[in-house]
Amino acid sequence: MTSAYAEVIGDPVEHSKSPVIHGYWLEKLGIDAEYRRTRIGPDELSAYIQAQRHNPQWLGCNVTMPLKLDALLLADAKSDASVQAGACNLLIQQAGKLFAANTDVGAIGMVVGQLAAGRTPESVTLLGTGGAARAVLAALTAMGVRQINVQGRNRAEAASLAKLFDLILPPQPFGSPVETDGLINATPLGMSGAAPLDVDLSSMPDHGWVFDLVSSPPQTALVREAERRGIRASGGLPMLIEQAAASFPALFGADPPRGTESDAELRRRLAE
């Protein structure tokens, strides 16, 4: 019987590929632990986390939508990245205390850096206002991106984020044509089972790029449309793997097995 486990919590959570990633690394390292999915809604979060604090088998959890903001408030201590983002995607139990971290921020910065060919983007349009969007804003501001245009379905929340992160560009209505160097989708639109995302890419420059944080399906309609137009694009799997790689040592006390062959096998499993 497994004596220890970690998990990913959220609602919905059935689509999450985190158990595949962590499960593969646990198998490769021979660690006797599990990584699970647990569907937890916003109204259930506080009671669930309080109960888990004193569960000796529970190592912690990754946090996905729509819990990233509320989960931060339940923590006893917080990493700088989670405070900067105002959201966490990782809760770690330490002797009954909860430590909040945000491994999304570093993973987002890594993918953006690759898409932008190592250069600091001059301008980026961000779709979304939730916990993932906050991690994007934290990553972009850390990279020195000056012009960030937030498009949110809730205009008040978009304006609040623009003020919180001291953005120089005012928010635009959701669905406005994208004219910036980069576009990042931090909404669930386009996810398997969710409503489609309709974005006008016709005004993006030739050197532009698109980053869709959605990882299921691996290639979203947004990524396909960007590639059709000759725009560099990435889905959410690279970010998901990198944030998991940063979460794994905190949860299981070991570095994940990375390398060309290991990463290739992981991607094959994720494609199944």
Q: What residues act catalytically?
A: 68
Q: Cα–Cα distance between 142 and 131 in angstroms, integer?
A: 17
Q: Which residues lie closer than 8 Å to 154 by C-beta, 6 or more apart?
A: 129
Q: ∠ CA 149-15-218 to the nearest 5 degrees?
A: 60
141, two tokens = 């501001």
Cβ proximity of 22 and 271 under 8 Å: no
For the four alpha carbons of 92, 94, 98 and 102, in that order, the dihedral sign comes to negative
Using alpha carbons only, what angle is made at residue 238 by residues 167 and 215, rounded to the nearest 5 degrees?
A: 85
| Count of residues making up the chain | 272
Instruction: Report whether 34 contacts 40 (CB < 8 A).
Output: no
DSSP symbol at 254: S
With residue 222 as reference, give the H or E element that holds it: helix 221-228
